[in-house]
Amino acid sequence: MKKIALLLICYLFGVHAICQNTSTPISIIPEPVQMVQNAGVFVLPSTITIEAPIQPAVKTTLDILQLRLTAATGYKVLFGGQMPSATIKLVLNTTADAAIGNEGYRLNVKTANITIVANQPAGLFYGVQTLLQLLPVEIESKTVMAQVKWKAPCVTITDYPRFGWRGLMFDVSRHFFTKKEVKDFIDQMARYKYNLYHWHLTDDEGWRIEIKSYPNLTKKGAWSVAKVGYFGTFSQPLPDEPKTNGGFYTQEDIKEVIQYAKDRFVNILPEVDVPGHSMAAIASYPDLSCTPGADKYDVIAGESFMDWSHGAPPIALKDNTLCPANEKVYVFLDKVMTEIAALFPFEYIHVGGDECPKNFWEKSDAIKALMQKEGLKTMEEVQSYFEKRLETIVESKGKKFMGWDEILEGGLAPNAAVMSWRGEKGGIEAAKLKHDVVMSPTTYAYLDYMQGDEIIEPHVYATLRLKKSYEFEPVPPGADAKYIIGGQANLWSEQLYNTRHMQYMLWPRGFAIAECVWSPKEKKNWNSFAAKVEQHFKRYDLEEVKYAPSMYDPIFTAINNNGQLQIELATEIEGLDIHYSFDNSFPDQFYPKYTAALTPPKDAVMLKLITYRGNKPIGRMIAMPLDVLQKRAGVKK
């Protein structure tokens, strides 16, 4: 009996151990289409054997897998084409699995081995990204992590994307980022199954791509006076200030980045933003302008040169537009598009078209003559004339034409695709007209916006919290889903001075958009997603990638209660306590906990807050001046 009891105890202990091993939450971003967790765990052996197709399209996937497995574990990795007892098997189907398409995969983690099966190499790449997320967070370490149990839960996953266009836009014009920084950006986005890098290469603040037909675009157009502070409020550059800020990519650089992205199954969409946002081009070649005196223009360094007080489009104080009535402009664009089309294999070229001021056109005799000749009645029709001619140029290079939703105004070019950024209206309208649409509305997808309260975040003109980004639905009510080819997030760089802040603005909202464009709509769950984000924060800590902790910070609502300020507080994620003080001291878990609306003491000047989970501080210490809240509430002092 004693032996039987002892065996029973051992058995129960073993079952308990398995339960413990599988209790770590699975935190895959973006959420797979289907996942079943099975009993048991897979333990990584100290010598890892990997069977994989021997072909160039799989090489980078294998290189990434080997690097990630060896750097953190210190284990040995061996590759082979046919390895029956391999630890990890990457398999390409000989007969296509219709359910998973070109980018999908099936991942099966068993106690003895791991198998990833796909129709195409892209699917193997994405399957590997998921596998790495199943391993302990320490797999992200760049150095060997001792005492880690390298195991993964046994799961069966079937996964494939909801949309074929899963994009991130990175503006390298307002502030230049090096070739290596661009590659790092592509690395990070590919890990979360983005497949489209929208490269915003030209704007008022810099022309970043070498065009051999027009060398001044990078000799002059890529450089400005260095300024630091709040972009758009800088003082006017002086004539003798050195123009040392900027840079550009040679055509060889571009080719290198395109190949780097291709190896990670990322397409690159180039953008040349015209006819507005063209000061860098005009400063380089003034005869592209309608306006006398353009030869005195310089590349914008961040000084104010647009009047936005009347809304969009703005009133230009300097003419930053190419001239639709100037035939030299179309010769210029033809040569530029010839070189861009030869460089970029992706089917689309993005031509901008947004925020084009028209007040200088209104004063131009050349524009008036064009309107009379072509029967154009409005300035919007003038821009439409320009866009239709540009579409003909782009299509003559074998490419498809895409622009921001302003290209709808005055009549859409016949075959144009629309990227809808001013909310969803433009995308809905374009889809009804049977044009392809990429949804990228400011409401959810503008990652240059502040992520929390402006009292603590680097200041820009709007706020977009993580939870709001997670509400992004690329097919809004009223849109014809057949024409919505995908969605993307945009990261404009007016206030991005370095790569660390770029990362801060990109993550975790980039996680949210990734899930919105990959995962089935019905699989999205905010509380589950927020918990996964916290696990990915741990990964980024080990990988030394910066992110914003703004989701831990309280949300302020200032209320005018009959002339008295009341303050309501909330948290974006569940399970947090807010502790506060009005006496200028720094609160911790022993200070009052927020439970109901606060009325500040009569002479108090500062509200300080911090969020806790249990007895552990999790948010940032925030000092909120009460006069700021009074102003928001409309309470007079």
Please, which contacts does 523-530 make with residues 24 or more away whose CB atoms are closer than 8 Å? 523/31, 523/32, 523/33, 524/31, 524/470, 526/467, 526/470, 527/573, 527/574, 528/31, 529/29, 529/31, 529/470, 530/466, 530/467, 530/572, 530/573, 530/574
Q: Which among 60, 259, 87 is positioned nearest to 68, based on CA atoms?
A: 60
Give the active site residues.
203, 277, 355
pLDDT at position 6 is 41
How far apart CA 385 and CA 364 sit, in angstroms, is: 16
Mean pLDDT on 374-400: 98
pLDDT in tens, 536-576: 999 999 999 999 999 999 999 999 999 999 999 999 999 99
pLDDT at position 509 is 98
532-569 in b/e form (b: 16+ CB < 10 A) is bbbbbbebbebbebebbbbbbbbebebbeeeeebbbeb
Amino acid at 461: Y
Two tokens at 372? Answer: 């009379």
Two tokens at 377? Answer: 């009645």
How far apart CA 183 and CA 187 sit, in angstroms, is: 6
pLDDT for 351 beyond 50:
yes
Banded model confidence at residue 16, pLDDT cuts 50, 70, 90:
very low
245: three-class secondary structure by DSSP: strand
Question: Distance of CA 37 to CAs 14, 34, 41, 539, 563, Å?
Answer: 19, 10, 10, 22, 56
Two tokens at 60? Answer: 């980078």
> Is the omega angle on the peptide bond into residue 508 within 30 degrees of 0, that is, cis?
yes
Q: What is the DSSP letter of 249?
A: B
Residue 631, exposed/middle/buried by CB under 10 A (0-12, 13-18, 19+)?
A: middle
pLDDT at position 81 is 80
Hey, which residues does 88 pair with through a beta bridge? 50, 114
**Are residues 558 and 630 in contact, defined by beta-carbon separation less than 8 angstroms?**
yes
Pairing of the two strands 315-316 and 306-307: antiparallel
How far apart CA 605 and CA 432 sit, in angstroms, is: 54
pLDDT in tens, 416-441: 999 999 999 999 999 999 999 999 99
pLDDT for 19 beyond 70:
no
Domain 165-543, CATH: 3.20.20.80
What is the CATH architecture of 2-159? Answer: 2-Layer Sandwich (3.30)
336: three-class secondary structure by DSSP: helix
The HSE-up count of residue 541 (CA atoms within 13 Å, CB side) is 9
Higher pLDDT, 138 or 312: 138
Q: Which among 551, 554, 518 is positioned nearest to 537, based on CA atoms?
A: 551
Q: Compute the mean pLDDT over every residue in the chain, rounded to the nearest whole number.
A: 95
Amino acid at 357: P
pLDDT at position 536 is 98
pLDDT in tens, 247-281: 999 999 999 999 999 999 999 999 999 999 999 99
pLDDT in tens, 84-132: 889 999 999 999 999 999 999 999 999 999 999 999 999 999 999 999 9
Hey, which residues does 247 pair with through a beta bridge? none
Q: Which among 395, 342, 320, 391 is positioned nearest to 211, based on CA atoms?
A: 342
Q: Which residue's structure tokens are 């390895």?
A: 83
pLDDT at position 8 is 40
Q: Would you say the CATH fold of 553-633 matches that of 165-543?
A: no
Two tokens at 61? Answer: 């996937």
pLDDT at position 20 is 36
Instruction: Name the strand (E) or helix (H) holding 509.
Output: helix 509-518
pLDDT at position 300 is 97
pLDDT for 4 beyond 70:
no
* 553-633 fold: Immunoglobulin-like (2.60.40)
Q: Residue 48: which region, alpha, beta or left (left: phi > 0; alpha: psi -120 to 50)?
A: beta
pLDDT at position 23 is 56
pLDDT for 139 beyond 80:
yes
Provide the residue ranges of all domains of the chain, joining segments of one domain with +: 2-159, 165-543, 553-633
Question: Distance of CA 50 to CAs 44, 72, 78, 173, 384, Å?
Answer: 12, 17, 6, 42, 55
Residue 439, exposed/middle/buried by CB under 10 A (0-12, 13-18, 19+)?
A: buried
Amino acid at 427: G
Mean pLDDT on 161-171: 98
